[in-house]
Chain A
Amino acid sequence: MLRSGAIGKAKRPVVRRAFGTMLAASCLVAAGIAIGQEPQTGSQPAAQQRRYQNMTPQQRAEATREFLGLGPEPDKAAATRGAPLFRRDCAFCHGPEARGATAPSLITSDLVLDDDLGEHLVPFLKKGRPEKGMPAFAAVPDDQLHDIAEYLHLQVEDVANRGTYRLLNIVVGDAARGKSWAASHCMSCHTAETFAHVAKRFRSPGQLQRGWIWPSRSGDQSLAVTAAVETPDSATIAGRVTQVSDFRITLVDGLGETHVIERRAGVEVRIHDPLAAHQAMIMTLTNEQMHDVTAWLETLR
């Protein structure tokens, strides 16, 4: 049942007048306190993305199912029981994964998508659709028809819930070529030590590929963006950048002290990014080079 209605609550808004210096000052203090945490709503998508990347596969699948409104989670045990039944009775016409063959794909079937727990599919399968050449499965017991229904729901889930997607074997490059490319492109900054046992530091080839192209800065101070800021009174403040916009830069100096500097006229900011060479590489790296280097690094265990 859909329920809705107009709510006539009169709510009092926040009315503010001139934006005075007092308020400006308190904003700065607040910004200072917030440092080290995520800027609140400012970079919410980045924070959400990081949270998503840190989830277990199960959590990722559940979060995506909720976001997409995909309905109940398929019963995997029932689907496993249903798989051979589907192959026996249905796959010849509908294809091994129900994506269609001589008969239509069932992934996008109205009947499958409208069904939650077999309540529509089981009676339908019992009758079939003889006028279109689909036999009745009246002799198949209900519990087996339920299992076939769950198998179909799992096929839908595997397609529609992209939180369940897994990379295939991404190691497709030529390791020897990758080694030679790295020798000519990486060794002006790196040594052989950088690459020793590198594959052991990553959980999967996908993470290795991402990790060598764009190393994670978290946990590695040497990769932090730094800046030297000159103020009009000729003071220079240098340190690790924790935030920078057109209007403000926030640094943590060598003593761990935080400096919030407004970028007014006369304030000069020089930023140094240790990953600048990697950023430049990303703009021109070919797929073959990426695959080859990943294949080589995968051998360094």
Chain B
Amino acid sequence: MRLADAIWASIATVALMGAASPGPHVSLDPKEIGKAPVSSWTTFNGDYSGERYSTLTQIRPDNVDQLTEQWVYRITGVGAQRGAPAPVIKCTPLLVEGVLYITIPDHVWALDARTGMELWHYVWRDHGGHLVGQRGVAIWKSTVFFETPDNWLIALRTNTGKELWRKNYADARMQYFSTSAPLVVKNHVIVGVGGDAMDMPGFLDSFDPRTGALQWKWWSTPRRGDPALKTWPNEAASDHGGGMTWMPGTYDPDLNLLYWPTGNTNPVFAGQGRPGANLWTESIVALDADTGKLRWYFQLSPHDTHDFDNTTAPVLFDAAVHGQPRRLLAQAARNGFFVTLDRITGIYLVMKPYVPLDYYSGLSPQGEPIPIPDKDPSVGGSINIVNATNWEAPAYNPKTGLFYVNSAEGKAIYYLTDDSARPSGYGGTIEGIGHTRRVLQAIDPLTGNAAWAHVYPNLNNAPVTVGPSILTTASNLVITGDDQRNLILYAADTGRILWHHELGANESGGVITYMLDGRQYIVFGAGDSLCSWSLAR
């Protein structure tokens, strides 16, 4: 920021916060964080469950044709960022006391939810890291938490965007970078990290929300003395084994357990230097929220060599199984399997492919897929599935009992480019082959079978690294989009299309809904714009 800009910015801020405008007074009671979202949206997933389910019913199948755009906030003045030609909103907005908080890499905005007017804008000058996306902020009392591409946790005032403190938790030179939204649980700010170019170990940090002091750290791969080291050839391989924590997890307050998905193993495609299952990469782990101690794990892809990066949401839901109420967890994994676990024990109930795949020979007694070695990347090339989904949010509707996911069905050739005994980095490359199609699926998590599926017609391949997120409501709606700029509302029980609208860009972040002044709003990012919709007055 040039000096003149800085002076102007501070004047503008003072004017905004001065007598002319009282400014917002946002403070989020920690007891309200993670509760079912009604008039606020307090965490990345709205609540702690990851269901992205709203009990609101003002917008219903019989009035969706009255949906009207209320305002659009367009990001201007940012321009191209390193490696990103134009800003794309990939965050889920948070809403507290009428103020929306949105992000892109290096930027946070607070907006008036009634008008879309900008209240403040915070800019970070990074020194490294990937600017590939930013999932949003966390809020606790009157503090906003934000992760920068170069791995700083920034604490800002909710009302002014003024920085309170900052804390660096990983080295960008080691190719760690951050895109996640922190998750606040009790007096912990849980921070995950990404970066798989350089064979570094993943971790999850818990910080004190007041001071940024580190409370605990959980490593995604075992350290010296841990029995799980037997799933690695040696300590050095484990110390460089990956397992990034780059998507927010979920939390069960009654069990005080965090459920975190862990990313791909390193080296990424070249697995010959790391024989073994390579725990706890490619897993769902249950951690004690106060200590970070591992309670159980379930590994989706033992010895992954396909960048199956198991970072999709572990969605918590309760359901009766054989007449018994159960606390369950379901995930549509990027390796193409749908898994349902008991979230107290980690024992699986369902493990079933939800896209066509042929890379496994069966399930282990624990329910893990047993990969066929011929399907590993090879010098001559090996055909396997593309990632079956990605970071775009799924949803679960307790009324229909269905889990909604935008899946990708397609194939790629996986090449090994480093066939040495000591590969490093990715060690391979991937080339898409044939047509990849997007399919919206409504999966019964107690069977793994799709109750309905909708194939999106498209001449182009469905992008496998971005996609439309999902929200579902008690009024039998599934709200999502296609890859051709349409926002689409479906009947949650049947998959019938109820309404659509062509936007300026694809729905690109999380979709949220809330009541404000007696009206239900639907808010989402689409490219460089945040869009707010409601029923016509």
On A, residues with C-beta under 8 Å from B are 2-19, 27, 31, 39-46, 49, 63, 66-69, 71, 95, 97, 99-100, 104-105, 107-108, 110, 113-114, 156, 159-162, 165-173, 206, 209-210, 213-214, 225, 241-247, 275, 278-279, 282-283, 285-287, 290-291, 294
Contact = CB atoms under 8 A, between A and B. Distances in A.
B60 interface: no
Contact of B171 (A40, A113, A156, A291): A113
B375 to A, nearest CB: 8
Nearest to A263: B457
A23 to B, nearest CB: 10
A110 B380 CA distance: 35
Interface in B5-19: 5-6, 9-10, 12-17
B82 A69 contact: yes
A107 B459 contact: no
A46 B461 contact: yes
B162 to A, nearest CB: 5
B122 A4 contact: yes
B457 to A, nearest CB: 5
A31 B41 CA distance: 35
B422 interface: yes
B322 interface: no
B485 A39 contact: yes
A44 B174 CA distance: 29
B527 A4 contact: no
B148 to A, nearest CB: 9
B341 interface: no
Interface in B159-218: 160-163, 166, 171-175, 177, 197-200
Interface of B: 1, 5-6, 9-10, 12-17, 68-74, 76, 82-83, 86, 88, 111, 115-125, 127-130, 132, 149, 152, 154, 156, 160-163, 166, 171-175, 177, 197-200, 236, 240, 356, 374-375, 378-383, 411, 413, 415-420, 422, 424-426, 428-429, 431-435, 456-461, 463, 465-466, 482-486, 488, 497, 500-502, 504-506, 527, 536
Contact of B74 (A13, A17, A279): A13
Given A4-B124, A4-B125, A19-B69, A71 B380 contact: no
A41 B68 CA distance: 22
Nearest to B503: A41
A248 B501 CA distance: 12
Contacts of A8: 9-10, 12-17, 119-121, 160-161
A63 B411 CA distance: 25
A175 B101 CA distance: 60
Nearest to B161: A6
Nearest to B9: A7
A209 B379 CA distance: 13
Contacts of A99: 420, 422, 424
Contact of B236 (A104, A171, A206): A104
Kindly name the residue among A6, A45, A107, A169 whose own CB sees the greatest number of chain B CB atoms within 10 A.
A6
Given A69-B82, A165-B429, A287-B383, A43 B463 contact: yes
